[in-house]
Structure formats: structure tokens, C-alpha cells
């Protein structure tokens, strides 16, 4: 994006859209994580709702399927007292030929205050942010292979919750990195928060060499990749994004890179295992690990709601 300043920030450096973690200063990431901590405790109250977005309308625009992310955004917006409108765009006007910007213009005429956007094209949320009215905020809920910033942030919240200090950690990201917007967002966030060793682990076809330019250590051997790791982030093998013969078979992948108790033993004894979901048991992760004591996959989902509440409340409170 060629812009004089980061389009996510206003002139005071405050967050007004969340489009990508790339380019966001550490202070903004830390503010989101700290605010999420406040919202996590809202779950313990008798009234599990706060009035910050009362009277605001949040439109969930999912041009690509997602159940978990859309649901957690919906819960987060409702806990902030917003009105939530879910649009299944694949089945609506776009199918009739309406352009993306015409869709946005129409929804803006319905007094939308915030768009949560998932799109198969990288950059679609940027385009919307550039063309919507100044009071409207945009959250990227995943665009193409580019970014999935709220997943990256909830991963950072999870790591901070269990490990406290980012500056002593070794984090291994394992699996289908080439297709993963989660991996890209995680790498940007881990780098900004000061993690000294980030490893990308997987076969040559799924772990691109250009990751080295991002300061990541590339490992094609699983044992080497997770040896001594504090955090292991497993990625889903994205069958729907596979084109061409990138892998011999899912069984072959599991044999070499699937996280089993035997392979997990290479990591530190107190290492945590994360996964953005949905998990493919027996493809990238063994059930014994997914359901084991080191797995924090379900806490990630809970933290995800608090992180999305934090993002929406912070951007809604800042003016362009």
C-alpha cells in the first residue's frame, strides 16, 4: 500500500482500522493485549455485556466461508452492545454482479459504523477502508494469503498469558506456511514484540525460502525445527488452497510433520501447543497432542473473543 502514513492509524498514531499487524508499533499491539485482559474478565460478571458500542452497527461481511471467526466476531460485538448484521455475501448481491465498492456504499447508506471483512482477495479490506466514510471503521478478518491480524493478536495474547515475556522465547510455526495468512500475521507480531527466535517448519513446497528475509529461521526437518521450542503453532493443511501437487499425500505429511507426542518431546517440557483451528486430526496434529495437557487450542478460542472486543472498542473510540 503506497500511502504517506499507515492507513490504519490517524494523525495522532491511534488505531482507526485493523488491516494488518505489519507496520503497527509495539505500543499499539501492547495496548490491544492489555485491553483484551480487561474484557476477558467480563466473562466472570453477572452481566456479560458492556455498553461501549451501544447504538453502533457492526456488519460482518464474509465473502469467504468461516464459522469460528465470524461467530467470535459476532459474540465480541454483541458483548460490546453493538447491533450485529451478518451478511453471507457469497449468496447475495455480489453473485448478481455488484462490485465490492457498490456493496460497501449501499451498506454505508444503511448507517454501518464498522465492517468486519473476510475476503479471498488480498487487500480487499484496504480498499474498503480507503473508500468508506471517515467515521466508519474496518477490521480485516482474513484477506487471501495476506493477513489475519486478529488471529495473530489472539495468538500473541495466548503466548503472553502462558509465557509472560516475549523476549526469551523460541517459537516454531509448523506446516502449510505458504498459504497461511495466520503465519504471516504471527511472524510480524512476534517480531514486533521482540521474540528472538522464530522458526518456520515444513516441507520445501509449503515453507518458502523468502521467509528468511523476515528474520525467520527456515527448517525442513521437524526435529530440528521444534527442538527447544517454548511455543509450537501448528497450522492447518489448507486443502482448499492447494493447487498442483505440493504434497505427496496427507499421510506422508503427517509422518514427517504431524505433531505427535514423540515429536513434541523435542520441544521444552513446558512448551505450549497452539492451532488456529479448525484442526485436522491425524493430518497436522495427533489427537493425543490436540487433547493433551500442553494444548492451549481451546483457550485460544476464548481469548479470541476478548481480543476482538479490544480491537473493536479501540478503533471505535478513535476518530479519523
C-beta of 51 vs 244, nearer to other proteins: 51
Q: Which stretch binds other proteins (CB under 8 A): 31-39, 66-74, 213-221, 280-288?
A: 31-39
Q: At closest approach, how far in Å is the CB of 76 from other proteins?
A: 14
- Residue 35 found at the interface with other proteins (CB under 8 A): yes
Binding-site member from 2, 11, 47, 245 for other proteins (CB under 8 A): 47
Q: At closest approach, how far in Å is the CB of 48 from other proteins?
A: 8
Binding-site member from 13, 25, 26, 38 for other proteins (CB under 8 A): 38
- What binding mask, one character per residue, do residues 260-299 give for other proteins by CB under 8 A, x or -? ----------------------------------------
Nearest to 314 by CA among 4, 22, 1, 27: 27
- Residue 45 found at the interface with other proteins (CB under 8 A): yes
Start-to-end C-alpha separation, the chain: 18
Output the CA torsion sign for 184, 190, 237, 87: negative
Residue 96, φ and ψ in degrees, nearest 5: -90, 0
Q: Which stretch binds other proteins (CB under 8 A): 38-46, 146-154, 177-185, 284-292?
A: 38-46
3-state secondary structure of 243: coil
Spell out the residues 6+ positions from residue 255 whose beta carbon is closer than 8 angstroms to its own.
Answer: none
Binding-site member from 9, 52, 75, 320 for other proteins (CB under 8 A): 52
C-beta of 15 vs 147, nearer to other proteins: 15
What is the rounded distance in angstroms from the CA atom of residue 176 to the CA atom of residue 181? 10
C-beta of 55 vs 209, nearer to other proteins: 55
- Residue 65 found at the interface with other proteins (CB under 8 A): no
C-beta of 122 vs 318, nearer to other proteins: 318
Q: Which stretch binds other proteins (CB under 8 A): 119-127, 164-172, 249-257, 310-318?
A: 310-318
Residue 35, φ and ψ in degrees, nearest 5: -65, -35
Q: At closest approach, how far in Å is the CB of 14 from other proteins?
A: 7
C-beta of 37 vs 299, nearer to other proteins: 37
DSSP alpha helix (H) spans, 41-99: 68-79
CA 231 to chain centre: 16
The residue length of the chain stands at 320
Q: Grid coordinates representing 68?
A: 469460528
In this structure, what DSSP letter does residue 231 have?
Answer: E
Binding-site member from 50, 87, 279, 301 for other proteins (CB under 8 A): 50
Q: At closest approach, how far in Å is the CB of 314 from other proteins?
A: 5
What is the rounded distance in angstroms from the CA atom of residue 179 to the CA atom of residue 62? 19
Q: By CB neighbour count within 10 A (0-12 exposed, 13-18 middle, 19+ buried), where does 75 fall?
A: middle
Spell out the residues 6+ positions from residue 268 whose beta carbon is closer than 8 angstroms to its own.
Answer: 228, 229, 230
> Which residues of the chain form contacts with other proteins (CB under 8 A)?
14, 31, 34-35, 37-38, 41-42, 45-47, 49-52, 313-314, 316-318
Amino acid at each position: 500500500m503506497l500511502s504517506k502514513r499507515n492507513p490504519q492509524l490517524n494523525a495522532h498514531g491511534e488505531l482507526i482500522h485493523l488491516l494488518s499487524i505489519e507496520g503497527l508499533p509495539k505500543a499499539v499491539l501492547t495496548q490491544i493485549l492489555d485491553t483484551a485482559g480487561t474484557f476477558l474478565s467480563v466473562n466472570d460478571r453477572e452481566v456479560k455485556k458492556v455498553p461501549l458500542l451501544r447504538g453502533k452497527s457492526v456488519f460482518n461481511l464474509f465473502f469467504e466461508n468461516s464459522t469460528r471467526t465470524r461467530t467470535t466476531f459476532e459474540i465480541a460485538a454483541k458483548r460490546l452492545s453493538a447491533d450485529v448484521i451478518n451478511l453471507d455475501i457469497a449468496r447475495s448481491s455480489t453473485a448478481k454482479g455488484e462490485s465490492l465498492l457498490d456493496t460497501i456504499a449501499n451498506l454505508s447508506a444503511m448507517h454501518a459504523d464498522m465492517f468486519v471483512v473476510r475476503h479471498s482477495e488480498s487487500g480487499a479490506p484496504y480498499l474498503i477502508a480507503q473508500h468508506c466514510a471517515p467515521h466508519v471503521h474496518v477490521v480485516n478478518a482474513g484477506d487471501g494469503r495476506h493477513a489475519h491480524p486478529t488471529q495473530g493478536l489472539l495468538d500473541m495474547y495466548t503466548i503472553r498469558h502462558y509465557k509472560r515475556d516475549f523476549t526469551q522465547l523460541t517459537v516454531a510455526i509448523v506446516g502449510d506456511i505458504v498459504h497461511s495468512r495466520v503465519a504471516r500475521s504471527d511472524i510480524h507480531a512476534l517480531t514486533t514484540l521482540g521474540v528472538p527466535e522464530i522458526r518456520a517448519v515444513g516441507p520445501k513446497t509449503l515453507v518458502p525460502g523468502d521467509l528468511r528475509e523476515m528474520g525467520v529461521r527456515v527448517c525442513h526437518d521437524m526435529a530440528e525445527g521444534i527442538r527447544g521450542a517454548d511455543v509450537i503453532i501448528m497450522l492447518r493443511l489448507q486443502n482448499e488452497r492447494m493447487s498442483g501437487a505440493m504434497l505427496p499425500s496427507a499421510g506422508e505429511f503427517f509422518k514427517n510433520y504431524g505433531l505427535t507426542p514423540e515429536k513434541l518431546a523435542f520441544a521444552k517440557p513446558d512448551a505450549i501447543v497452539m492451532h488456529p483451528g479448525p484442526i485436522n486430526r491425524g493430518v497436522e496434529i495427533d489427537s493425543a497432542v490436540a487433547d493433551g495437557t500442553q494444548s492451549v487450542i481451546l483457550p485460544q478460542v476464548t481469548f479470541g473473543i476478548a481480543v476482538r472486543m479490544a480491537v473493536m472498542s479501540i478503533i471505535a473510540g478513535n476518530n479519523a
